[in-house]
Structure 1
Amino acid sequence: MPRDTLTGSRIRERRVAQGIKQAALAQQAGISASYLNLIEHNRRRIGGKLLLDIAEALNVEPALLIEGAGAALISSLREAASDVPAVGAEVDRVDEFAGRFPGWAELLSTARQRIMALERNVETLSDRMTHDPHLATSLHEMLSTVTAIRSAASILAEPGEIDPEWQARFHRNIYDDSARLAETSRGLVTYLEADDETATETGAPQEELDAVLEAAGHHVPELEQNASEDGALMRLGDGVSAPARTLLKTWLERYARDAVAIPMDQLVPLLATHGPDPGALTKVLGGDPTRVMRRLAAMPIDVMPDPVGLAICDSSGVLSYRKPLPDFPMPRFGAACPLWPLYRALNRPMVILSLPLVQQGRAGAGVWAEAVAMPVGEIAVNSDPIFEAHMLVRPMPRDGEGAAVPADVGVTCRVCPKIDCIGRREPSILTPTG
């Protein structure tokens, strides 16, 4: 008989905890010990008067025996097992474990959630420590200043007389270098302790642009109404650096061209029919599939309750645009996972690659990705084209579940636990190295 309840497991646990023999409980309930044994192993259903009699014999409320572990808890335990498949956890018995030991099950679920949160923090900090240009520049400046102070101090500490003029010059150098070191240290501490919004004020221009677009939800309402980019630039670019404003201006100009080519009132009805499928939408709308991808990424939450993510890179592989999803984070600095179809598209230009993806260390259905590389600019004589690749990531479509085995990818090598990866560039901080 299929297991549709764990009531029997709870009866057994309550009986054993109270030190009651199986035969004694069966006698109080008016059934045979063999029948109670079948019930306790979830091979016989139980309800009605028999359940009330057993609950009375165990001195518990009947609801405590029929109340099962929540579906969310069961799902969390299954995901925990899938995160570490090498352990060989008995996934087929996870419901029995949750029913018999709900406290331990809740503890494992909570611990897994905390581990995931800590890993996300490690990813962010490692990404920042490894690739943050502001941090690298500050540390280099501090080391250079400390070296200069040490050199001047060593000269003053040497035996023998030093000309008063040179002595005063060395003292002045030490004073100036010390002041510069103190200022750099304060700035570095402020930068490290700042929240994300404050940190971007002193970050790289690309990081400033990412922060501006994230705050705006990657949607610019005035450009949907064919307004000038100047007003949007003034609104969104307030407080950012001049280089970041240049990047923002370029992005807004492209946004405006996309909005004119594919108006929002034309795209919204098609979403109801085709969903956020860039291949199907390109067939209907015609033109460039990368433009369709950018328009999908620019849709507000009231139009697309399930937003899509988008990554854009140039021929060098550097991410020039990123709109991550909670289920598919993207690195803030440096290169992403080389297994992303974003980079494969550069090897197969003008072909839409479509496949499911699952990031290492993240359970769940994963995402569906479409990637394509298109030439930038006009065709020129005796000049090879420069390609730009787009990768749209969206929630797994229902009709796509089970259609293909998801490809295992990561975020970036530094925080990817996949050891035997042909595309690995550097060791991961999440796995031990031999």
Structure 2
Amino acid sequence: MSRLPIGRQIREERQKKRLTQRTLAQAAGISTSYLNLIEHDKRPIAGALLNRIAAALGTDAGRLSGAANTRLAQDLMEIARTHAGLPTAEPEAVLDFVGSAPAWARAFLQLHRSYREASETAAALSDRLSQNPALIELSHAVLTRITSIRAFAEILREHGELDELSQRRFSGIIATEADALGSGARTMIELLSATPGQAAGISPDEEVDDFLVYHNNHFPELEDAADALRGLIGQNDRITDTAIAARLESRHGIRVTAMPETADTPESGVIRLDSARSAVSNRFLLARHLVEQDHAALLSDIVQASPLLTGEQARTTGRRALANYLASALLFPYAPFLAAAEDWRYDIERLAHHFGGSFEQTAHRLVTLRRPGAEGIPFAFLRSDPAGNLSKRFSIPGLRMPRYSGGCALWPLYGAFRTPDRIVPQLAHMPDGEHYLLVARCVAKRAVGYGEPGTLFSVMLGCDAAYAPRIVYGDLFGGSRAAATATGIGCRSCSRAGCPQRAYPPVLAPTPR
């Protein structure tokens, strides 16, 4: 997708600050005429100049560059592509719409979210009504009561000559049936109210997704806090469980015991680790408890300062996401982790073994390596359960992770379920001609007790195929595009003709496979 026009943002911000073009141009070290061209989007702007203009306006470069609006434009494009009834939107038209009327664009997205939530709730209620015997019986009872009340009411209306005794008898029947109807309706409402999923404009999880994308899933202040905490603990590359537990007890008075986990929490002074869980899961859990104790104020400050997290539930979820980020930064220190990733050509399993993490934890950390001047390969991230429910999505330019629909069935994200504990690489050829290297693996989280079901997920990373020579999984394709698999993002947005996995007709005009 093309970039959002930045000039309009600069002009509006300058006018808000009551600055003239000449004043801002002088502060940024450019001519007034050049600033005029920038404000009318006739000259591109980025890097140092954008930072100077942002500093002169007293704002951050991310706000001027429209990072949040870029996500908004991507969401609108996805909605257009996944709904057959909507016209196909050109990227430039969407960018112009978002750039010129961001409030209306957000309102449109909010309307779509409300429609989607309402549709899902109606479908869930319909499904529950059709499958629950109690609700079916109540539905028939309610209809029977309504019919009875109507019949006796018509008798009273049409036969005014009834004697007083008959009138009292029919009125009593109506009252009794009305009481029964009310009771049945209340019971039905109680049963239906237990159905999960209530209509809402945007879920807390979606707000947190927007929050992470706005920050490019990189938080320098949390990286600095992790480095400082690692120094206090006195360990570098690999922090042991013992060191974390010692810090929890000496600094916060919280004791860690290797016993079956109960309801004990850090607030009770005890953390009980269940030995049935994997060692890497327990280590990450301890790290998260530690950062939540050591940096509670920092986590809360970042969450409270964000306008993207509007509700208490979203802020709570966002705070947990930041705590997980900080725990990851503590266990996988930025500089050593990036150096190892480059040396070992992003071999996820080798990195996981060296730093003591799981496949998913290591993949998460690779996505956050976005420090300016010391960046890793930009990866997209997506997780799916066996039913195809997508979570923990993070997109990169060109490779959008689906938000309102399932991903392409030909992705290794789904193929990995057929080969548990084996990495499945794929060179994906998109309908627009772009190539991406996708890497997926099925990960199992075993049950912690007898009779408890385990959980199964597939985790996928993706990046531009141009980075394939730097990645060990790219060797499988030897730099040749001939081994590429024709894929898409999702059925409705994919224009490939003759795809054997197609589930829905394409919105776009078909193109040859």
Calculate the TM-score normalised by the size of structure 2. Answer: 0.44
Identity %: 23
Q: For residue 326 of structure 1, what is the amino acid of its counterpart?
A: P
Q: Which residue does 2:392 correspond to in 1? A: 321
Q: Which residue does 2:328 correspond to in 1? A: 258
Q: 2: CA distance between counterparts of 1:417 and 1:395?
A: 20
Q: Which residue does 1:208 correspond to in 2? A: 207
Q: Gaps spanning 5+ residues in structure 2: where?
A: 1-72, 87-108, 122-199, 227-294, 470-474
Q: For residue 213 of structure 1, what is the amino acid of its counterpart?
A: L
Q: Which residue does 1:414 correspond to in 2? A: 492
SS across alignment from 2:492 = helix
Instruction: Tell me by how many angstroms 1:140 deviates.
Output: 11
Q: Deviations over 1:366-418 (max 9, x none)?
A: 12111112223653213331112210112321254128711221111111112
Instruction: Tell me by how many angstroms 1:263 deviates.
Output: 1.8
The equivalences for 1:387-426 within 5 A come to 387-396=456-465, 397-398=468-469, 399=475, 400-402=478-480, 405-426=483-504
Do the aligned partners of residues 404 and 373 (structure 1) sit closer, same or farther apart at CA in structure 2, a change above 3 Å counting? farther
Q: How many residues align?
A: 255
Q: Which residue does 1:427 correspond to in 2? A: 505
Q: Which residue does 1:380 correspond to in 2? A: 449
SS across alignment from 1:317 = coil
Instruction: Tell me by how many angstroms 1:213 deviates.
Output: 0.8
The equivalences for 1:189-268 within 5 A come to 202-224=201-223, 225-226=225-226, 227-228=295-296, 229-236=299-306, 239-268=309-338
Q: Is the contact made by 1:237 and 1:248 (CA closer than 8 Å) also made in structure 2?
A: no
Instruction: Tell me by how many angstroms 1:318 deviates.
Output: 1.8
1:363 aligned to which of 408, 413, 433: 433
Do the aligned partners of residues 427 and 281 (structure 1) sit closer, same or farther apart at CA in structure 2, a change above 3 Å counting? same
SS across alignment from 1:420 = coil
SS across alignment from 2:398 = coil
SS across alignment from 1:390 = strand
Q: 1: CA distance between counterparts of 2:119 and 2:215?
A: 32
Q: Which residue does 2:265 correspond to in 1? A: none
Q: Is the contact made by 1:414 and 1:426 (CA closer than 8 Å) also made in structure 2?
A: yes
Q: For residue 488 of structure 2, what is the amino acid of its counterpart?
A: G
Q: Deviations over 1:232-261 (max 9, x none)?
A: 333447642334334323322332332222
Q: 1: CA distance between counterparts of 2:398 and 2:308?
A: 31
Q: Deviations over 1:266-310 (max 9, x none)?
A: 202213313444244335435312111100101114222641111
Do the aligned partners of residues 309 and 253 (structure 1) sit closer, same or farther apart at CA in structure 2, a change above 3 Å counting? same
2:81 aligned to which of 126, 129, 140: 126
Stretch of structure 1 that moved more, 126-135 or 404-413: 126-135
Q: Deviations over 1:341-390 (max 9, x none)?
A: 1122233332221221122x2213x1211111222365321333111221
Q: Verify: 1:354 aligned to 2:425, yes or no.
A: yes
Q: 1: CA distance between counterparts of 2:417 and 2:486?
A: 19
Instruction: Tell me by how many angstroms 1:319 deviates.
Output: 1.7
Q: Verify: 1:334 aligned to 2:402, yes or no.
A: no
Q: Is the contact made by 1:370 and 1:392 (CA closer than 8 Å) also made in structure 2?
A: yes
Q: Which residue does 1:92 correspond to in 2? A: none
Q: 2: CA distance between counterparts of 1:326 and 1:305?
A: 15
Q: 2: CA distance between counterparts of 1:325 and 1:393?
A: 9
Stretch of structure 1 that moved more, 280-289 or 382-391: 280-289
Q: 2: CA distance between counterparts of 1:140 and 1:289?
A: 33
Stretch of structure 1 that moved more, 421-430 or 234-243: 234-243
Q: For residue 212 of structure 2, what is the amino acid of its counterpart?
A: L
SS across alignment from 2:495 = coil
SS across alignment from 1:382 = coil
Q: Is the contact made by 2:218 and 2:371 (CA closer than 8 Å) also made in structure 1?
A: no
The equivalences for 1:15-164 within 5 A come to 123-127=78-82, 132-136=112-116
Give RMSD over aligned pairs: 3.5
Instruction: Tell me by how many angstroms 1:133 deviates.
Output: 3.5
Q: 1: CA distance between counterparts of 2:209 and 2:337?
A: 25
Q: Is the contact made by 2:385 and 2:456 (CA closer than 8 Å) also made in structure 1?
A: yes
Do the aligned partners of residues 240 and 373 (structure 1) sit closer, same or farther apart at CA in structure 2, a change above 3 Å counting? farther
Q: Gaps spanning 5+ residues in structure 1: where?
A: 1-117, 142-200
Q: Which residue does 2:283 correspond to in 1? A: none
SS across alignment from 1:371 = strand
SS across alignment from 1:232 = helix
Higher relative contact order, structure no. (Cα contacts within 8 Å, ≥ 6 residues apart): 2
